[in-house]
Amino acid sequence: MSRNITVFGIPNCDTVKKSRVWLQEQGLDFEFYDVKKQGLDQTTVRAWLAFVPLDLLINRKGTTWRALSDEQKALAADTESAIPLILSNPSLIKRPVLQMKNSDHMGHVSVGFSPDQFQKIFENK
């Protein structure tokens, strides 16, 4: 079965770089999607949230989060108000977001990277 693998992130993020190198070393074809340059849409973010909780998707340790006002941070408490916040600040997502699709159906979404995490994902797929 063919998989469509996309890594969402920003190119200068160390964790994103490590995830891309790991995928290349495994001989896996993937597309890199630069969330800052290419942006995000509501459909994509909602699809991710079907697989991962909002608290995992939003990076509350990064500089983008720290630069938000308290009012903006409060918007991250629920999905409906968090999505527009993410769309206007794509760097808020914890990186990378690994998305795999089988045909027209979403097959898997994960957030973050460690070699063990990716190994488990790909040995089960």
CATH of the domain at 81: 3.40.30.10
Q: Is 13 a catalytic residue?
A: yes
Do residues 14 and 114 touch, judged by C-beta distance below 8 A? no
Instruction: Say what the pTM is.
Output: 0.91
Tally of domains in the chain: 1
Question: Active site residue: 3, 4, 6, 13, which one?
Answer: 13
pLDDT digits (tens, 9 = 90+) for 24-37: 999 999 999 999 99
How high is the pLDDT of residue 105? 64
Give the three-class secondary structure for 28: coil
Q: How far, in Å, CA of 88 to CA of 99, rounded?
A: 21
81, 54 in Cβ contact below 8 A? no
Show the domain range for 15.
4-123
93 pLDDT exceeds 60? yes
What is the amino acid identity at position 49? L
